[in-house]
Amino acid sequence: MVLLLFVDLDPRLTALGALGGFSVLRTGVPPRGPLPTLREAYAATSEDAREDVYEDPVTFRVRKITQSLRAPEARVAVSVAQQALAARLWSVALGAAALYGQVPDLAPELLHWDPDGSAPEDLWLAEVRPLPHTAVGRLVLDAHLAPLAAVLHSRYHVSPGLLWGNAGSALAGAARQLDRWALAHGRSDVGERARSLAAGLLADPRLAATLAPGTLRRRSCCLYYRLPGGGLCGDCCFDRPPRKKPAGP
């Protein structure tokens, strides 16, 4: 039997920083001034699409990634952007739940996002409100990944299978990182809680078919191989990059 030792959430979520860059969650007011909330990002429609970071954060982020990675088409950049944000959200929520035994309320109206920032995604939490660790699925899947997938599918016609595959892969990756940290720091309780939570979350109907049981290998491709210099991810569904289709006449 493993004794789980939890601590209360502290106002600055300091302990999350030890888990790695993807688990860091800053609190308070960003030094560069107010940033758009993720609720505002999910609410923007295609008619709102402009290049201003405040008017339409999602479109701004996709354009930024398209340019910086020289993506051959928008949906490749969309996949990169969505998986990066999913990885940040899972890492924060799963890390807090496994380490503290609680999770901060990650409601989209409380989370500020800098779409013009560098990777990993820059997130700021306006207020720390403790919730039980069982709230992770509701906070991440329902409040964030579902509306984000709806926006990206509607605007860029990226398949739901790819987007939910990214979400499942990001969750498994966050759990692996926590497990490695737990082994390195003698915190078997943290690793056990992370694995248990991740297994329960992967049973959600939206994620259940995204990864192969046992191996956790993806059943869809994130399109990373299509970037210049890109290759296959460690959990890719392909054994080798697909051949590019020849250009038409």
**b/e sequence 214-245, b meaning 16+ C-beta within 10 Å:** eebebebbbbbbbbeebebbebbeeeeeeeee
Tell me the two tokens of residue 173: 């990756």
Q: State the average pLDDT over residues 21-27.
A: 91
The pLDDT assigned to 2 comes to 35
Task: Count CB atoms within 10 A of the CB of residue 7.
Answer: 10
Sequence spans of domains, the chain? 14-225
Name the average pLDDT for the chain. 87
With CA atoms as reference, report the closest residue to 227 among 78, 113, 91: 78
Q: Is the preceding omega at residue 120 within 30 degrees of 0, hence cis?
A: yes
Beta bridge partners of 27: 125
- Per-residue pLDDT of 30-74, as tens digits, reads 877 789 999 999 997 655 455 555 678 999 999 999 999 999 999
Judge contact between 146 and 205, C-beta under 8 A.
no
Tell me the two tokens of residue 120: 């990993």
The pLDDT assigned to 222 comes to 83
Q: Among the ranges 81-90, 210-219, 235-244, which has the highest mean pLDDT value?
A: 81-90
Tell me the two tokens of residue 179: 């497990």
Query: Per-residue pLDDT for 234 more than 80?
Result: no
Q: Among the ranges 48-57, 185-194, 214-223, which has the highest mean pLDDT value?
A: 185-194
**30 class by beta-carbon count within 10 Å (0-12 exposed, 13-18 middle, 19+ buried):** middle
- Report the C-alpha gap between 240 and 247 in whole angstroms: 21
- Per-residue pLDDT of 125-182, as tens digits, reads 999 999 999 999 999 999 999 999 999 999 999 999 999 999 999 999 999 999 999 9
Q: For the whole model, what pTM was predicted?
A: 0.89
